[in-house]
Structure 1
Amino acid sequence: MSFYLGIDVGTASVRAGLFDDNGRLIGMSVHPIEIHRPQADFAEQSSDDIWQAVRATVRTALSEAAATGDQVKGIGFDATCSTVALDDQERPVTVSPSGDDRWNVIMWMDHRAGAEADAINQGRFEFLKHVGGQISLEMHPPKLMWLAKHLPESYARAVRFLDLPDFLVYRATGRDVRSLCSTGCKQGYLAHEGRWDEPLYQDAGILDAVHTGKVGREIEPPGKLAGRLTEHAAQELGLSAECAVAVSIIDAHAGAIGCLGAMEDPDACLALIGGTSACLMALSREPRFVSGVWGPYFGAVLDGYWLNEGGQSAAGALMDYALEYGPGRLAERARAENRDPYEYANALVAKLQAGFDPPASLARHAHVYPDHHGNRSPHADPRSKGQVDGLTLGADPEDDAILYYATVQALAYNARDVIEALNTKGYRVSSLRVTGGSVKNPVWLQEHADATGCEVIAGEQPEAVLLGSAILGATASGRFETVRQGMAAWVRPGETVQPNPSARAFHDAKFRQFQAMYRQHLERRKAMDEAR
């Protein structure tokens, strides 16, 4: 019997999922990883710590499924788009103001490189056309520029700057094969032309990273065979050295593979991956340039397709924040009763909705703009801030529940904002294919259906990110000829949530106020920036 592994390195944990030949999950394991925050806006990790967590999760997943290592024929890696620095002996190189080599990963959510991103955005570079007009401070070139300026010894000592998914492939195979997904979406590689945006790198003062191969020389599409496990890696993971390793993919993009399925009409469906952050992904046969939305990226998910990517930097993290830090101490009270805070909050919301028509109007006068960690899209504004309108002196759990509910609605309105931007450029989005931790929340599902007017379809397999990576591993092993063939075979629809027509007028009105909040924020920001 043949099995396939999907390994997902998220923000705070590593997960491994073992799938059988029919795409059924038969074993799974989760292991935490460390996050180091030396100062505000900095977030760092250790590649050694991450690899140790990979080892632990793989072995546990195999044990749970009562499988042997030689039965695993293919492995696919996905991870956050974080930057890993290694020296010529494959040892960690510090990216931290602490100077500790242990911390050699700049996390995706690290916002240290704001000034560097601003400097790049002053130019007229080809890559900027493919990131909605503005490079994000979460992407690699601003972070490399920051390292060259602030930690020049580290920049010089590093011989490889790898996206975290590519690091995992390198550690597993010993081959430095970079993914078209990571390089094309985050690093300034123009995949449709097969070249780096060298003027961007030159203007940033880091052109040597291209010429010396620090950012990679061999670039291949996700799912292609990157190599086989080295004997050492096979021993560490408890697998066979014959196991095929796929070219990697970014975590959210693996989720798109694991939830889009057969894609009968690509222009009408959108993948929404709801985790710590939220990512929305649309695929098209032709390039579509959408202001404030990343892309179009050629071949980043599927060969022959262009990707547009929107999202929000704080999504699940923002709902957590609303529950944990409200004056009513909702999360604390829930845990005191041995209840999940989300279930507790949703029960309060359902109770409070009695007498409201539509039920969503419970939050009629509670307005949230969810840019607490900046706006990824459709405004590409990392300096945007979160806003709340409608606060009172109430300090009961019921007050927290209403604010939480308004936060869920705000995240749904952000999705609608992105969808409307995409639809102006040729998409016809009417169906959201969703995955991630937020899919377990029925309030999140219904509000996204009602606020966007789209049907919301959760996959039969809730661990769609792991499934997407396993499909890559299966493709690399020869189980499927193409990634899309694997999607059609293994991705099956599950629960479908339809929008409530009676809530449409309410959400239309509140969405207009949502958009107005950003315009008002810009006005206030401009006025205070000009104040002397």
Structure 2
Amino acid sequence: MELGQFRYFIGVDVGTTSVRAALIDHKGCIKCRATQSIQIWQPKEDYYQQSSENIWQACCLVVKEVTQGIDRDAIGGIGFDATCSMVVLDEQLQPVTISPDANPDCNIVMWLDHRAIKEAELINATEHHLLSYLGGTISPEMQAPKLLWLKKNLHNQCWKKAAHFFDLPDFLSFKATGALTRSLCCLVCKWNYEYKDKQGWLDDFWQTIGLDDFIIESYERIGGKNIAFPGQPIGKGLTVKAASELGLAVGTAVGASLVDAYAGCLGIAGIDLTRMQCKNKDLTSRLSLICGTSTCHMAITSNPHYVAGVWGPFNSVILPGLYLNEGGQSVTGKLVDFMIQKHPFFPTLKELSQEKNTSIYDYLNQFIIDQGIKSHWAYLTTNMHILPDFHGNRSPIANHNLKGMICGLTLASELHDLAIQYLSTLQSLAFGTKQIVEAMTKDGHEIKILLACGGLSKNSLFLRCHADITGCPIVLGKEEDSVLLGSAMLGVSAALPKYDLKTVMATFSSAGEIIQPNLDIELQRYYAKKYQICLQMQQDQLKYLSIINEDK
């Protein structure tokens, strides 16, 4: 079959707070999209929970909305991506609560849940070689610590009843097809599956950390041997039940899923850069920034690179035969909102932006630029410095105990003060990206170009800070929603096996706006000083932690 055989494909993206779907034509153009909010429960600090039923219902609503009036036979395939949250079902494929208060609706431990910090520390103490794929330490956001927490803390309520543990992207494929197949992307990146010489599940790792139950069960509860490359067709396509719920045709092809950030990387990493006036434009010179609630920094390479504090190298998790490293900053988008909303001027800012019929971000951005008439607006933060690790540091320090820091607070409470704190936050996030780029470069990567997609990539000042601070040009996709585009590519590959993901990537991806860095000498000297302060704040806080824990 040729690409034009079907007129449309569907991408479904389950983010932290909402589910989105897009209808995409056979040329890679998004024709329409829909969004549905989903519920989050937070019974305790650092506990974040969701409902798989709530999420699936939202998926059905958005798919029906984007396909309204479309001939079902014109839709070739559907792909799903989602956050790397963990779903628990029993033998009857019904939800099993993971909540300490036994809330029956909550059967998902969300990706940003940090209940398993002690379990992560226990696993890290083993120094098992699998940790080398995680930059040396496992995060409490990954699945092994969460599984161990459930076994230790909710043994009767959850562990004994659980028959299936899914990564959320794989759960969606299961709901669509009835097949228990897992995506290699999810297992390698989040479940400590070693895809190297086809080794797979390593008994000594699971036995060492106290989860030898899986060995006895041949790992059936977490996927076993039912594994597919991303984009490979799952089962026989949509089941009768799923097709009815989604409003699609029975048998519509379903591609093996991706974690949401990886779908964004798939959607943007293959952009044609021939019109850029620079060298080293191939796939391995690019760092994709997937900017959602958190920011993921993803680099594809031909050879494996082990980078301290950076996840990977993960083999074949997007494209077969290629490796991927993933750095990251937790809750970046959420941090920007937090810094704005906590400020006493925020209610007035909302009123001012509504009067101008603009967003609060565009209002702040314009205010900041207007302050830069006599000197560059970047200098507004001369006396304000922020360490953005409010939810720990994922990369490259890889320390979940780190917290955010603000230096330079005053008693001011007007718009100017809010703007300075907001700008300093954007700069601090760019310093974090610079630190990740430096760590990856030190260990063999050759990053020359940044690609960006996701919510924060729509913020022009966020992009400008990143370009100027890293010294790298930033390329945006022509289709601004690269995550949904990447998700739809999974459906294309599943429906048309002739088109592997690399071919689909090259066909569907094209460049949009390009932001060149401002390399003015004085500005770069200023940012170098600010970056030095940011690094010093990290070291100072680590010293504080050492002092306070000295006698423990």
TM-score range, shorter chain: over 0.9
Per-residue CA deviation, residues 400-423 of structure 1 (Å, 9 max, x unaligned), is 111000000000110110000111
Give the match's secondary structure for 1:282: strand
Whole-Å separation in 2 of the counterparts to 1:334 and 1:298: 50
Whole-Å separation in 2 of the counterparts to 1:294 and 1:211: 29
Counterpart in the other structure of 1:529: 549
Counterpart in the other structure of 1:299: 316
Aligned AA (1:379): I
Distance change in 2, residues 1:210/1:7 (3 Å): farther
Counterparts of residues 344-363 of structure 1 (less than 5 Å): 344-356=363-375, 358-363=376-381
Whole-Å separation in 2 of the counterparts to 1:331 and 1:30: 26
Per-residue CA deviation, residues 324-375 of structure 1 (Å, 9 max, x unaligned), is 111322644445635421112112211222222x331111221110000111
Counterparts of residues 401-420 of structure 1 (less than 5 Å): 401-420=419-438
Counterpart in the other structure of 2:49: 44
2:455 pairs with one of 424, 428, 437 = 437
Counterparts of residues 119-518 of structure 1 (less than 5 Å): 119-153=122-156, 154-194=158-198, 195-212=200-217, 213-217=220-224, 218-227=226-235, 228-262=237-271, 264-329=281-346, 331-334=349-352, 337=355, 339-356=358-375, 358-478=376-496, 480-502=498-520, 503-518=523-538
Are the counterparts in 2 of residues 328 and 398 from structure 1 also a CA contact under 8 Å? no
Per-residue CA deviation, residues 162-194 of structure 1 (Å, 9 max, x unaligned), is 000000000100001101111000111001233
Aligned AA (2:539): R
Aligned AA (1:399): D
Are the counterparts in 2 of residues 222 and 248 from structure 1 also a CA contact under 8 Å? yes
Percent of aligned pairs with the same amino acid: 40
Are the counterparts in 1 of residues 368 and 377 from structure 2 also a CA contact under 8 Å? no
Distance change in 2, residues 1:334/1:300 (3 Å): farther
1:34 pairs with one of 16, 34, 39 = 39
Whole-Å separation in 1 of the counterparts to 2:505 and 2:349: 38
Are the counterparts in 2 of residues 126 and 197 from structure 1 also a CA contact under 8 Å? no
State the Cα distance separating 1:424 from its structure 2 match: 0.8
Aligned AA (1:252): A
Aligned AA (2:332): A
Alignment partner of 1:113 is 2:122: no
State the Cα distance separating 1:456 from its structure 2 match: 0.3
Give the match's secondary structure for 2:234: strand
Counterpart in the other structure of 2:3: none
Aligned AA (2:431): Y
Aligned AA (2:270): G
Are the counterparts in 2 of residues 87 and 160 from structure 1 also a CA contact under 8 Å? yes
Whole-Å separation in 2 of the counterparts to 1:75 and 1:179: 15
Is 85-94 or 124-133 further displaced after alignment? 124-133
Per-residue CA deviation, residues 244-299 of structure 1 (Å, 9 max, x unaligned), is 00000000000001111157523311100111100000011111000000011101
TM-score (norm 1): 0.97
Mark the runs of 5 or more structure 2 residues left unpaired by the alignment. 1-5, 273-280
State the Cα distance separating 1:156 from its structure 2 match: 1.2
Give the match's secondary structure for 1:468: helix
State the Cα distance separating 1:200 from its structure 2 match: 2.2
Whole-Å separation in 1 of the counterparts to 2:262 and 2:510: 17
Alignment partner of 1:23 is 2:25: no
Distance change in 2, residues 1:437/1:485 (3 Å): same
Whole-Å separation in 1 of the counterparts to 2:498 and 2:38: 32
Give the match's secondary structure for 1:249: strand
Alignment partner of 1:74 is 2:77: yes
Aligned AA (1:306): Y
Whole-Å separation in 2 of the counterparts to 1:60 and 1:125: 47
Distance change in 2, residues 1:165/1:331 (3 Å): farther
Distance change in 2, residues 1:432/1:148 (3 Å): same
TM-score (norm 2): 0.94
Whole-Å separation in 2 of the counterparts to 1:119 and 1:276: 28
Are the counterparts in 1 of residues 387 and 405 from structure 2 also a CA contact under 8 Å? yes
Per-residue CA deviation, residues 103-125 of structure 1 (Å, 9 max, x unaligned), is 00000000000000000000021
Aligned AA (2:364): A
CA RMSD in angstroms, aligned pairs only: 1.4
Aligned AA (1:189): Y
